[in-house]
Copies of this chain bind each other. A is one copy, B any other.
Amino acid sequence: MRLSLDILSVDRSSDEPMHRQIYDALRRFILDGQIAPHTLLPSTRSLAEDLRVGRNTVIAAYDQLLAEGFIEARTGSGTWVAPIKQARTNTPRTKPGCGARRLSTRGETIVNGPQPPRNAGVINFHPGVPETASFPFSIWSSMLARNSRSRDESLLVFLSYAGHLGLRATISSYISVSRGIDCTPEQVIVVTGAQAALDLVSRVLMDEGDHVWMEEPGYRGAKSAFLAAGANLAPLKVSRRGWNLSDPNLPPPRLIYVTPSCQWPFGTIMRIEERLELLDIAERHSAWIIEDDFDGEYRYRGRPVPALRGLDNANHVVYIGSFGKTLLPALRVGYLIVPPELVEAFDKAVSITGQFAPLLLQATINDFIKQGYFATHLKRMRRLYARRQANFVQLCREHLGEWVTVTENDSGMQLLASFKRPLNDLDVVAAAVKEGLDVQAVSIDYHSTEPEHGLLLGYTSMDERQILRAVLALRAAFMRLDRQ
């Protein structure tokens, strides 16, 4: 069978090169079946004459088709269309969207688990969002620019999946002073944020079905990571007064997740007695303690409370820290402190999960810390947040006293607002959204027990005017609810 030429033409006014036009047309005809398999194509010379194009143009088109297997050249006998079977799938499905079922069972678990609460764009009362207005953007930006111009191999090539060697050393010094943790630079594993750290530990340190003691109420992001890894969650009950470590219903744990510096959502500090008890429990069960130190740097009266990891001479604690709340959330750089014997395992695991942070950012954070800007920024933020908290508590008493009790806290970036009368916090969230306000319900932090209702209010990212506006909007939301 010989190709009828009239279906082929070129458009000389098109931006598309002519060889590309010929390639595209032939490819389409072959895929559609308009040119059947085993058809003999005209020679490049004859097609070039017919189309009035240069012979090289046709050769370029044929070469591309040849490379992709659309046509075959048989020595001495010309160029033929390859024996291509039409794909059954080559036409669009009539019912799109039927693929949702095609997630794996694990995929379904991951997707349907509790989500780390998402910031709706309007920051408002979203907890854990740092002030960015006074971040030293110009210093940061010039450090970044310098590093990004650098052809230094240590910024271009991964020497270690566990992180930039300089940053790891700097973190190990920093963490010794600020958090009372003694570790070598090697024990520091840098990853793409605290969430990645949680995901990583839950994959490397536990198996599907293992018991994980999870604070109840507790941080959803952690819960999601453990559930995604197949954990069997056991509620470790927490109140404003502390951790119920002697609960007889708790099964022998494989992992124990805690936020000892500033419990999420209550803001409680774990007492030394509880800390020592927890280390004993880990020892008895050969369990790992995952210490999520998400707000550890923010203590407004006195000094930050030393990390649990600092008391842990027997290497039961894996510590998780992050720069998301001390620098900028969108940086996505966090770190783990792991026992020496796990360093190699985590380095390997990171090489497979791809949770390693860009070297450029790691190196720049390193410069930022080493040149003292980090300490200065943190000190300023501590003072600023302390003032903002005092002002915020005052405003809540003035304008929201009818509905909620908000108590000061020495630590953290958010305060718990308890309801004075029975209200469903999800109703409050819905009413707040109508006032253009993003607030977080406390009940979402409960997994398996009857939730307390309330709001977790982040106050750190707003200046005085913004916070007043937000408080008044929340007041309007409560009043809206009252009218219903």
Known contacts A99-B342, A269-B68, A332-B356: A351-B195 contact under CB 8 Å: yes
Contact check, B196 vs A355: say whether CB atoms are below 8 A apart: yes
Tell me whether A399 is interfacial, beta carbon within 8 Å: no
Tell me whether A466 is interfacial, beta carbon within 8 Å: no
Give the interface size bracket for A toward B.
Answer: 35 or more
Contact check, A272 vs B68: say whether CB atoms are below 8 A apart: yes
Of B20, B89, B104, which one neighbours A312 at CB under 8 angstroms? B89
- A277 nearest CB neighbor, chain B only: B85
Contact check, A204 vs B141: say whether CB atoms are below 8 A apart: no
Contact check, B107 vs A345: say whether CB atoms are below 8 A apart: yes
For A92, list chain B residues within 8 Å (CB): 313-314
- A269 nearest CB neighbor, chain B only: B67
Contact check, A106 vs B195: say whether CB atoms are below 8 A apart: no
Q: Which of A154-162, A372-380, A443-451, A475-483 contacts B (4 or more CB under 8 A)?
A: A154-162
Tell me whether A96 is interfacial, beta carbon within 8 Å: yes
In the complex, the count of this chain's copies comes to 2
Q: How far is the CA of A359 from the CA of B119 in the complex (A)?
A: 15
Of B90, B332, B339, which one neighbours A279 at CB under 8 angstroms? B90
Tell me whether A474 is interfacial, beta carbon within 8 Å: no
For A193, list chain B residues within 8 Å (CB): 354
Tell me whether A98 is interfacial, beta carbon within 8 Å: yes
Tell me whether A465 is interfacial, beta carbon within 8 Å: no
Tell me whether A11 is interfacial, beta carbon within 8 Å: no
Chain A 333-360 residues near chain B, CB threshold 8 A: 333, 339-342, 344-345, 348-349, 351-360
Tell me whether A248 is interfacial, beta carbon within 8 Å: no
Q: How far is the CA of A105 from the CA of B207 in the complex (A)?
A: 6
For A358, list chain B residues within 8 Å (CB): 192, 330-333, 357-358, 361
Contact check, A111 vs B345: say whether CB atoms are below 8 A apart: yes
Contact check, B311 vs A87: say whether CB atoms are below 8 A apart: yes
Residue in A31, A82, A89 with the greatest tally of chain B CB atoms within 10 Å? A89
Contact check, A204 vs B83: say whether CB atoms are below 8 A apart: no
Chain A 399-447 residues near chain B, CB threshold 8 A: 410
Of B84, B138, B352, which one neighbours A199 at CB under 8 angstroms? B352
For A158, list chain B residues within 8 Å (CB): 118-119, 329-330
Q: Which of A43-51, A290-298, A300-308, A387-395 contacts B (4 or more CB under 8 A)?
A: A300-308
- Within the complex, the shortest CB–CB distance from A352 to chain B, in Å, comes to 5
- A303 nearest CB neighbor, chain B only: B64
Tell me whether A169 is interfacial, beta carbon within 8 Å: no
Known contacts A272-B82, A283-B89, A348-B115: A315-B99 contact under CB 8 Å: yes
Q: How far is the CA of A33 from the CA of B45 in the complex (A)?
A: 97
Residue in A69, A137, A228, A316 with the greatest tally of chain B CB atoms within 10 Å? A69
Contact check, A314 vs B93: say whether CB atoms are below 8 A apart: yes
Contact check, A196 vs B89: say whether CB atoms are below 8 A apart: no
- A204 nearest CB neighbor, chain B only: B107
- A341 nearest CB neighbor, chain B only: B99
Contact check, A204 vs B104: say whether CB atoms are below 8 A apart: yes
- A229 nearest CB neighbor, chain B only: B106
Tell me whether A463 is interfacial, beta carbon within 8 Å: no
For A64, list chain B residues within 8 Å (CB): 302-303, 305
For A464, list chain B residues within 8 Å (CB): none
Of B63, B156, B195, B311, which one neighbours A330 at CB under 8 angstroms? B156
Tell me whether A208 is interfacial, beta carbon within 8 Å: yes
Q: Mark A189-214, 1 if CB is under 8 A from B, else 0.
A: 00111111111000111111010000
Tell me whether A153 is interfacial, beta carbon within 8 Å: yes
Chain A 264-295 residues near chain B, CB threshold 8 A: 269-274, 276-277, 279-280, 282-283, 286, 288
24 A–B contacts from the bound complex (CB under 8 Å): A20-B303, A31-B272, A67-B301, A69-B274, A70-B272, A85-B277, A89-B279, A89-B312, A91-B314, A99-B341, A103-B345, A110-B203, A110-B204, A110-B352, A116-B352, A140-B149, A141-B146, A142-B145, A144-B145, A225-B352, A330-B358, A330-B359, A354-B355, A358-B358
**In the complex, given contacts A98-B341, A196-B354, A197-B354, what are 5 additional A-B residue pairs having Cβ atoms less than 8 angstroms apart?**
A63-B301, A89-B316, A132-B156, A156-B328, A192-B358
